Amino acid sequence: MNTARHGTILIILLLLLGSTGCGSKPEPDTGFTATDDLQLLLDRVTRTLSGVRSTATAEEALPVLEMISEEFDILIDRLPNLSEAGRERMADTAARAMPGLRDNARRINNSNGIDLLGPMMNQLVGQLSRML
């Protein structure tokens, strides 16, 4: 009788622990992937650069591009934790974006007044190439 009671208690405890995840909270499924994050960042680069026409607007864009660069670093740090399929999607997205980013970097480096963004653009190109 005592053994049956202990067995029942053990089963109940196991069921409770299994349903609660042993006290750990699962990560919420936001539906966003690292590839989505990369695409959003690339879109921000495009939007930011589209407004750059003068030294003043280049100076305004610089902190935004610096923030994007920091977020690129976070994505690069996440790469080893992605599945093989996730890394392949990141590489595909980076490869598709690379020609446009390089063109923007070249345009900025060759434009008087906004060339102060050149080093940051070169850094973004370098970071994107690390995602290939």
Q: For 9-32, how does the pLDDT look when each residue is reduced to its tens digit (9 = 90+)?
A: 545 544 444 444 444 343 345 567
28, amino acid identity? P
* Angstrom distance (rounded) from CA 56 to CA 61: 9
Phi, psi of 118 (to 5 degrees): -55, -50
pLDDT of res. 31: 61
- Tens digits of per-residue pLDDT, 70-86? 999 999 999 999 999 99
Query: How much is the average pLDDT of 83-93?
Result: 95
Considering only CA atoms, which of 120, 30, 104, 116 is closest in space to residue 70?
120
Q: What's the whole-number average pLDDT of the chain?
A: 85
pLDDT band, residue 119 (cuts 50/70/90):
very high
Query: How much is the average pLDDT of 118-126?
Result: 97
* Angstrom distance (rounded) from CA 80 to CA 86: 10
pLDDT of res. 15: 47
* Angstrom distance (rounded) from CA 83 to CA 91: 12
Share of residues in the chain with pLDDT > 70 (%): 77
pLDDT of res. 1: 52
Tokens of 115: 């060339």
Confidence (pTM): 0.76
Contacts of residue 62, Cβ cutoff 8 Å, sequence gap at least 6: 116, 117, 120
pLDDT of res. 32: 74
